[in-house]
Amino acid sequence: MKLLSRIKPVEIRGDLRLSIKLTAAVMTLLAISSLLLGRYAISFHDLVAALQTALGHPDLESNHYEVIKAVVFHARLPRVITALVVGAGLAIAGSAFQAVFRNPLVSPGLLGVLNGCAFGAALGLVLQAGLYGVPLLACFFGCLAVAIGVLIAKRIGGDSILLLILGGIISNALFAGLLSLVKYMADPENQLPDIIYWLLGSLSSVSLPLLEVTLPIMVIAMALLLILGRVLDAMSLGDDEALSLGIPVSTMRYGVIFLATIISAITVCIAGVVGWVGLLIPHLTRLIWGASHRFVLPLSALLGAIFLLTADDLARMLTSSEIPLGVVTELLGAVIFFFLLTRTWQAR
């Protein structure tokens, strides 16, 4: 578990502001490239001209502008923004969970939120809950799964990290079983394919009305976690050290879990189950910039956004038919994680 912590950060960790600016610049360039690339390629000149036309300075013919407007502003832009926010959210949630549980192998799904969301979405699809019902059920059962895990820990005898992990294992198993039951009972011709596709993750059918409701909540939760960077630094040292610094450990632990759960549940509601981001990106960030959460949280957000946007670009451009996003993140994550482990083992 402590393999990656043995690697010394590289020398560029010194200037946080410069690191953030450089990473943000890479993210911006990637976002612009994502707007241009696809089955219908658009030049940068046409994109700028379309922006000028949209601002009231016509620089394109009407027909050409309408095409670019449909492709870029209606299809690609919402998808790019969603990929950036979802990737950043998963990375921040993963960093927060790893700090709270003092374990670099922890991911946002530890307490059952992913299996809970998956069960809720599958149930919504079987019940034909509609455009808003499915994500609402997914978010509700995701939060319920975490609440059950926490209550189990308290019922056993406390709120220690070990008991929370055990409660999460029970909650994960419970909702994994319920998900399997719903899949077994679903119509194999109409409902089961929809469930499987949703579980694989995708940004191909992003709902703008849903984003208008969920993204502000998610951004607020992310901002609150960013503010708690110093607190997470103290908590990652242990309960006694944090208490000696005047930090209410139990209250802060549940507060961080609540915020990270909200972020994780919303990301699953929007994009389905997307793996590796919350586990891999915090590792990569620590490898480059060190273990301080003042560094890890904001830079994890940027790297998470870059990772998921890259994965989404590959998902929609590698083949003639779009590959599920979860498949691409699993493949990319496995390769990168193998590289990190190899690098770590050689550094021992």
The domain that holds 51 is classified in CATH as 1.10.3470.10
Residue 13 has a pLDDT of 46
Could you tell me if residue 213 is inside a domain? yes
Per the domain annotation, does 327 fall within a domain? yes
Residue 305 inside a domain? The answer is yes
Question: In this structure, is residue 91 part of a structural domain?
Answer: yes
> What is the pLDDT at residue 70?
87
- The CA distances from residue 309 to 95, 227, 264, in Å, are 19, 25, 17
Q: Is residue 260 part of a domain?
A: yes
How many domains, the chain? Answer: 1
Residue 169 lies in a domain: no
The tens digit of pLDDT for each residue in 197-239 reads: 999 999 988 888 888 889 999 999 999 999 999 999 999 888 8
What's the confidence (pLDDT) of residue 11?
44
The answer to the question of residue 158 being in a domain is: no
Residue with tokens 């390769």: 335
CA nearest neighbour of 37 among 66, 75, 85? 75
Q: What is the pLDDT of residue 348?
A: 63
CA distance to 3, 72, 179, per residue, from 301 (Å): 23, 24, 30
Phi and psi based region of residue 158 (left: phi greater than 0; alpha: psi -120 to 50; beta: remaining): left
Residue 328: closest CA among 166, 202, 140: 202
254: domain range?
11-107+201-347
Q: How far is CA 127 from the centre of its chain?
A: 27
Q: What's the rounded Cα separation, in Å, for the pair 35 and 44?
A: 9
The answer as to whether 297 is a domain residue is yes
Low-confidence ranges of the chain (pLDDT < 70): 1-14, 57, 59-60, 347-348
**How confident is the model at residue 288, as a pLDDT?**
85
Kindly report the pTM of this predicted structure. 0.91
pLDDT computed for residue 239 by the predictor: 84
pLDDT recorded at residue 347: 64
